[in-house]
């Protein structure tokens, strides 16, 4: 008979159960994108928005939000890719993965994308980043986060992680397996955890799935490569017991992660409920929420020391590859000429990219992608989509290529920016010839495409979701109801 949920909690936490149930509210954190701005600039901007921030000593781009008047994702600078909202413990797996520019890296369970964008930033936006997730509805927020961070070297797959070996070869320098878990590291998620536990016919099924995903990562990793396994759970069944299966059966060794200033990282368990694990599991790390201002987490860093045994060895799939194109390919050159006509961006600016072209869209990728394995959902980032006879640039590429855009631009002052954020529309002095003028605003530069409504009026629907800086609101213009619903 399955134990009650209370008995399950007691078995997981033991003498620490009261500490887990009674600890205070968890802190809120963001991670700064150094390829867009500096941590000093974000501190200044958020201070103007009314936030109070504090740096995290051991994680260079992390800021703790001590005071938060509303969700930081509603600031215009978040849309411009200056930072990502992400818990502190969630930043540790990639911190320990230590991605490098030019490498082949895969995130097996990538959505909604916080860790994927963290990997991309650490890679310097150079190399081949594979981002996979099974849940189709989570692919949209994953792509949106990659776009907001200006990532063009990621290819997205929508597959069960344990089946990726059918299409991908063992070429990866680093693998992140941040696997689905019970979430038993966040006391606020206990009602959901209880419901999931009581519905489950076999509570141990989660650890079986986690092991299969981890085994996939082991098969995709090259010898000498690094794999990080992580969960936001403190249940040893999902953590040490899974790692024990790998180190006891496969040619992998656990690495000792570095200490992180300001965080109390506990060693992994070497025994639990009568089970004894390999002594090396002490090199795993546990983040306990009652000792840290963040949710509970488990992280293990593994290195592949030899090829797998023949029955587990990966057999290279007969994958079809799609060749990417350079700027001189006729179909690419024609599109870039159109973009130059309407935006003034010289085609040579795109020389570092490779391209994939469809009848209605063109995507650009990092130059490391000379080909892409079939079966992907999205490759790189969208450069432009065809609208009538115009190739309309995406918001992401407008921001990224802002310094090279010389036509079709409308610059707004503070009062105008406040009005468009409050109403979604604004009157301007003049309109360019294109029906999709580029909205520009200092200090963010080129922000997004807008719609020409005629009579010198433009519309940017998405602006309606964002706050302006205090002091930029003009007389008679108040935040709309959407803001009031989102205010905290």
Percent of the chain with pLDDT over 70: 95
CB 346 within 8 A of CB 404: yes
CB atoms within 10 A of CB 310: 7
Mean pLDDT of 402-415: 92
3-state DSSP call for residue 381? strand
pLDDT in tens, 441-460: 988 899 999 999 988 999 99
Mean pLDDT of 123-139: 93
Model pLDDT, residue 312: 77
Strands (E), 133-270: 154-157, 172-178, 221-231, 252-254, 265-267
pLDDT in tens, 350-399: 999 999 999 999 999 999 999 999 989 999 999 999 998 999 999 999 99
Confidence of residue 463 (pLDDT cuts 50, 70, 90): confident
Model pLDDT, residue 27: 92
pLDDT of 23 over the 80 cut? yes
Query: Over the range 88-97, which residues count as b (16 or more CB within 10 Å of their CB) and which as e?
Result: bbbbbbbbbb
- Could you give the maximum distance between any two Cα atoms of the chain, in Å? 77
pLDDT of 67 over the 60 cut? yes
pLDDT of 478 over the 50 cut? no
- What are the DSSP calls for 258-278, one per residue? PP-TT--EEEPPSEETTEE--
- CA–CA separation, 165 and 227 (whole Å): 16
The set of catalytic residues is 232
Model pLDDT, residue 470: 55
pLDDT of 278 over the 60 cut? yes
Using only C-alpha atoms, what is the Rg of the chain?
24
361 CA to centre of own chain:
23
Mean pLDDT of 133-158: 93
Return the H-helix or E-strand segment holding 314: none
Model pLDDT, residue 365: 97
3-state DSSP call for residue 149? coil
397 CA to centre of own chain:
18
Out of 201-215, 266-280, 417-431, the most confident range is: 266-280
Return the H-helix or E-strand segment holding 396: helix 395-400
Model pLDDT, residue 24: 82
CB 232 within 8 A of CB 30: no
Model pLDDT, residue 230: 98
CB 246 within 8 A of CB 252: yes
- CA–CA separation, 403 and 411 (whole Å): 14
By C-alpha distance, which of 408, 418, 324 is closest to 366? 324
* Helix%, strand%, coil% for the chain, nearest 5: 35, 25, 40
Mean pLDDT of 141-161: 94
Model pLDDT, residue 469: 65
Model pLDDT, residue 250: 97
Higher pLDDT, 322 or 470: 322
- CA–CA separation, 120 and 127 (whole Å): 9
CB 30 within 8 A of CB 63: yes
- CA–CA separation, 147 and 437 (whole Å): 20
Mean pLDDT across the chain:
91
- CA–CA separation, 68 and 60 (whole Å): 21
Confidence of residue 128 (pLDDT cuts 50, 70, 90): very high
CB 166 within 8 A of CB 317: yes
| Lookup: tokens for 78 | 């978040």
CB contact set of 310 (below 8 Å; sequence gap of 6+): none
| Lookup: tokens for 173 | 């320098």
Model pLDDT, residue 316: 67
Question: HSE (CB half, 13 Å, CA atoms) of 179?
Answer: 30
CB atoms within 10 A of CB 471: 8
Residue with tokens 């200044």: 44
- CA–CA separation, 401 and 398 (whole Å): 5
């Amino acid at each position: 008979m399955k134990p009650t949920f209370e008995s399950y909690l007691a078995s997981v936490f033991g003498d620490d159960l009261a500490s887990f149930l009674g600890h205070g509210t968890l802190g809120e954190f963001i991670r700064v994108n150094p390829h867009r701005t500096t941590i000093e600039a974000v501190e200044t901007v958020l201070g103007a928005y009314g936030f109070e921030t504090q740096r995290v000593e051991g994680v260079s781009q992390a800021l703790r939000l001590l005071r938060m008047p509303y969700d930081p994702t509603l600031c215009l600078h978040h849309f411009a890719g200056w930072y990502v909202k992400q818990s502190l413990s969630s930043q540790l797996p990639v911190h320990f993965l230590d991605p490098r520019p030019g490498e082949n890296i895969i995130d097996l369970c990538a959505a909604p994308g916080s860790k994927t964008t963290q990997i991309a930033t650490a890679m310097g936006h150079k190399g081949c980043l594979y981002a996979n997730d099974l849940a189709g509805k989570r692919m949209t927020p994953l792509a949106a986060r990659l776009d907001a961070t200006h990532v063009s070297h990621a290819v997205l797959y929508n597959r069960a992680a344990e089946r990726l070996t059918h299409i991908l070869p063992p070429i990866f320098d680093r693998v992140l397996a941040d696997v689905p878990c019970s979430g038993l590291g966040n006391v606020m998620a206990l009602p959901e955890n209880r419901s999931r536990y009581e519905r489950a016919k076999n509570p141990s099924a989660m650890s079986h799935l986690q092991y299969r995903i981890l085994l996939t990562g082991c098969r995709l990793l090259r010898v000498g490569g690094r794999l990080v396994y992580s969960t936001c759970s403190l249940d040893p069944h999902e953590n040490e017991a899974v790692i024990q299966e790998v180190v006891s059966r496969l040619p992998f060794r656990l690495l000792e992660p570095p200490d992180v200033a300001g965080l109390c990282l506990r060693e992994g368990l070497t025994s639990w409920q009568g089970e004894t694990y390999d002594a090396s599991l002490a090199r795993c790390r546990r983040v306990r929420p009652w000792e840290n201002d963040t949710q509970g987490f488990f992280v293990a860093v593994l290195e592949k020391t030899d090829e797998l045994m023949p029955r587990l060895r990966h057999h290279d799939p007969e994958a079809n590859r799609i060749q990417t194109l350079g700027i001189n390919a006729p179909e690419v050159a024609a599109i870039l000429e159109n973009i130059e006509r309407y935006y003034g961006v010289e085609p040579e600016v795109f020389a570092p990219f490779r391209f994939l072209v469809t009848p209605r869209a063109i995507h650009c990728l990092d130059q490391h992608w000379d080909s892409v394995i079939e079966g992907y959902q999205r490759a790189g980032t969208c450069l432009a989509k065809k609208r009538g006879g115009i190739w309309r640039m995406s918001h992401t590429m407008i921001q990224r290529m802002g310094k090279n855009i010389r036509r079709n631009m409308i610059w707004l002052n503070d009062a105008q920016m406040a009005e468009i954020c409050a109403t979604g529309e604004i009157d301007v002095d003049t309109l360019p010839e294109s029906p999709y003028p580029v909205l520009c605003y200092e200090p963010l530069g080129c922000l997004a495409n807008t719609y020409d409504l005629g009579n010198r009026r433009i519309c940017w629907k998405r602006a309606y979701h964002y706050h302006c800086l205090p002091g930029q609101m003009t007389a008679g213009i108040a935040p709309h109801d959407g803001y009031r619903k989102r205010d905290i």
